[in-house]
Amino acid sequence: MTPCFLLLVAGAIAIGFAPIFVRLAATGPIAMAFWRMALAVPILWIISRHQNTLANGTLRSPWIWVAGIAFALDLAAWHFAIRLTSVTNATLLANCAVLLVPLLSWLFWRRAVRLSTIGYGGLAFLGIALLSSPSLQVEGQHQLLGDALALVTAVFYATYLIAVAAARQRISASALALASSLLSSLTLLLFVPLAGERLLPAVAIDWIWLVGLAVISQVFGQTAIAHAMGRIPPTQAAIGLLIQPVSAAVFAWVLFHESMSGLQLFGGALVLIAITAVRLFDR
């Protein structure tokens, strides 16, 4: 695998920690999404300044605005979904974005998608479905609402990935991560009072989860993905990002004792095989 693809996978694993932090914190879902972005902004600013990648024209790119707003809506819907359904369900359904990215790539750029790429994507998604099969059962209206919100998340997530891939043609990864995080935090700040949530955490320990979410999932995870998206076709990148629900399921199994059967382990293996194959053979 190329270094860029390995960086993409590392970023996706870092994002796999996100639902764990969200589940551990008592802060409201929208407020937590805001702090994820807001706490990341000063760190990303320091990184961009150190790398001399700050550009006055960054916010003039329409793709930056699309990425920032789409990611804010993505986080808002996903954080609510994590509270209403299982970590595995929320992560699986949000990653239905892998099915939308090829369509959006064709709509925006008329970029053809290889049949082999579609095949690997299908194999990976089959693995994710097997991985999540024990928890894909209706347990009430709250879980149904959580699953529906996770599907809404997939639409915004796919839009975000396409916007990032387009913006990376002219903007550095660190500048893109900074600008999109700033726009996302401002968008989420408007949503906090609308959701009737408190902006500040009610308990001090929540700051630990918020900082972890910002540093691990946002600063490292999203910057790594933004860097890789400039050099990897969006459809292949979307398949690589399916390591995220696998890592989230493993973390949930370890920390929350969400069950892992032999069928789930087989599903996880299928995802890893598909991710490896798409980089080794689909060129």
pLDDT confidence of residue 186: 94
* Total structural domains within the chain: 1
Would the pLDDT of 261 be above 90?
Answer: no
Would the pLDDT of 157 be above 80?
Answer: yes
Average confidence (pLDDT) over 224-234: 80
pLDDT confidence of residue 187: 94
User: What's the mean per-residue pLDDT of the chain?
Assistant: 80
Three-state DSSP string of the chain: CCHHHHHHHHHHHHHHCHHHHHHHCCCCHHHHHHHHHHHHHHHHHHHHHHCCCCCCCHHHCHHHHHHHHHHHHHHHHHHHHHHHCCHHHHHHHHCCHHHHHHHHHHHHHCCCCCHHHHHHHHHHHHHHHHHHHHHCCCCCHHHHHHHHHHHHHHHHHHHHHHHHHHHCCCCCHHHHHHHHHHHHHHHHHHHHHHCCCCCCCCCCCHHHHHHHHHHHHHHHHHHHHHHHHCCCCHHHHHHHCCHHHHHHHHHHHHHHCCCCCHHHHHHHHHHHHHHHHHHHCCC
pLDDT confidence of residue 112: 61
pLDDT confidence of residue 182: 92
The Cα–Cα gap between 283 and 239 comes to 14
pLDDT tens digits for range 265-275:
787 777 777 77
Average confidence (pLDDT) over 208-213: 94
Would the pLDDT of 54 be above 70?
Answer: no
pLDDT confidence of residue 113: 63
Q: Which domain holds residue 122?
A: 3-280
Say what the pTM is. Answer: 0.77
pLDDT confidence of residue 210: 95
pLDDT confidence of residue 35: 95
pLDDT confidence of residue 269: 77
Report CA torsion sign: 56, 61, 67, 68. Answer: positive
**Backbone angles phi and psi of 172, in degrees to 5:** -65, 160
Would the pLDDT of 140 be above 80?
Answer: no
pLDDT tens digits for range 166-188:
888 888 888 888 889 999 999 99
Average confidence (pLDDT) over 3-32: 86
pLDDT confidence of residue 248: 75
| Residue 71: band (very low, low, confident or very high) from pLDDT cuts 50, 70, 90 | very high
